[in-house]
Each structure stands twice: as structure tokens, then as C-alpha cells.
Structure 1
Amino acid sequence: MPALPVPVVTIGLLVLSNLFMTFAWYGHLKYKAAPLVAVILVSWGIAFFEYLLQVPANRIGYGHFSAAQLKTIQEVITLTVFCAFSVLYLKEPLHWNHALGFGFIALGAFFIFHRW
């Protein structure tokens, strides 16, 4: 069976790692009554699994992508995952200014990836 292409593996691992990290960073916001120490410990536990995916993603992707491209991929995925998380989990709507700001970030990604 042929191996998956490097971009597929890299991006797939980064998407999965972002799901963990988004919950580690923002999942506790629904539980304001939880003690801060408990929230920190749970977040660290969740972040451990993020690192198990993110570090290999960057290791696999580096060489096919530059470090700047890997970081850009990471940020675009982070915003995409966060938008879904914000709407579906936190029940916070996104507004036109969010879309505009994210559009500018996407424009920045274009400049990172475009061959000049």
C-alpha cells in the first residue's frame, strides 16, 4: 500500500492536534465555576495529546514545507477549527468583522505560499 503524501499527513495531523489544543485552551470557558488549578491540570493533559500529533506533523512536513509555511498552515487550521468550536461548542456567533479579519489572514497565507 502506498504511503500517503507528505502534505496530507502533515495537514491531517495538524488538524487533529488543533482539535485537542482548542479544547485545552478554550474548552474550560464553559466551566467558570471549576477551580483554576483543576482547569490548568486538565488543559495540560489535553495539550499532551496535541503535542503527540503536532510535533510529528512538523517533523514530517519540514522539508516539503518551509518553517514559515508550516506555521502558516498551523495558523489557518487554528482559525478554522476555532471558528467551528466557537459556534458549535461555545455558542458564540461569528460576525462580519471576524470574517474580514480572517480573510486578511488568508491573504497573508497567500503571500507566504505564492512563488514570487
Structure 2
Amino acid sequence: MPTILLLIASNLFMTIAWYWHLKGGMEKPILLVILISWSIALVEYCFAVPANRIGYAGGWSPGQLKIAQEAIALIVFAGFMVTFLGEPLHWRHLAAFACIMAGVAFLFLGR
């Protein structure tokens, strides 16, 4: 459970670092946006690295850690896209997410 919680926190910061400037930040100079994003991403790494170490020490394979991170990233991004960017979810988003979740199931099957 600590691995999942840390990955969620990591992905919250990652999503903000990558996409915050798309709404209300487009007029800022790109160098400033990069520096702000790097600062936010530093916090993201402070959650991601321990998440991966704890997960690996707990018996997760690197592939399982990566696919779990990707699934969490999609969930976090979907919420960010709807709440912050104001874009609606479509059936295509759900279908793509189902494909990713199938990948998660394949890597965790039999574990």
C-alpha cells in the first residue's frame, strides 16, 4: 500500500509539472515554465524513487512497478484534464484506459 500511495502522490506532482502551464501559463516565457516545472518535478521524484524502492523490496518486478505507475498516471491525468483543463472524458479515453488496465492485469496475473 505505501508503494501505491507514493505513486499516486508522485503522479499528482508529475501531472502538474507537465501540464499546469497549458491553462493560464501560455503567456509565460518557456524558460520560466521549464524552471517551474523542474521544481515541481523534483518533488515528484521525491515520491517516485521511494515508491519504486519500497515496491521492489516488497517483491514487485520493475515491469509491475512501471505498469502500475502508468495506470495511476492515467487516472490522475483524467481527473486533472476534467477539473483543471476543463476537457470532458469521452468513450475513447475509457477504452484506452481499459487497454492499459488489461496490461496491468497481465503483469500481475498469477502473483
TM range (shorter): over 0.9
**Count of residues in correspondence between the two structures:** 109
State the one-letter code of the partner of 1:23: I
Query: Structure 1 segments of 4 or more deviating over 4 A?
Result: none
2:27 aligned to which of 33, 43, 55:
33
Percent of matched pairs sharing the same residue: 53
Residue in structure 1 matched with residue 46 of structure 2 by the alignment: 52
**CA offset at residue 98 of structure 1?**
1.0
Give, in whole Å, the separation in 1 of the partners of 2:39 and 2:63.
Answer: 28
Q: Does residue 71 of the first structure (1) align with residue 62 of the second (2)?
A: no
Match of 1:100 in 2: 95
Structure 1 spans left out of the alignment, 5+ residues: 1-7
Q: TM-score, normalised by structure 2?
A: 0.95
Distance 1:38 1:106 in 2: 36
* Gapped regions of structure 2 (runs ≥ 5): none
1:79 Cα deviation (Å)? 0.2
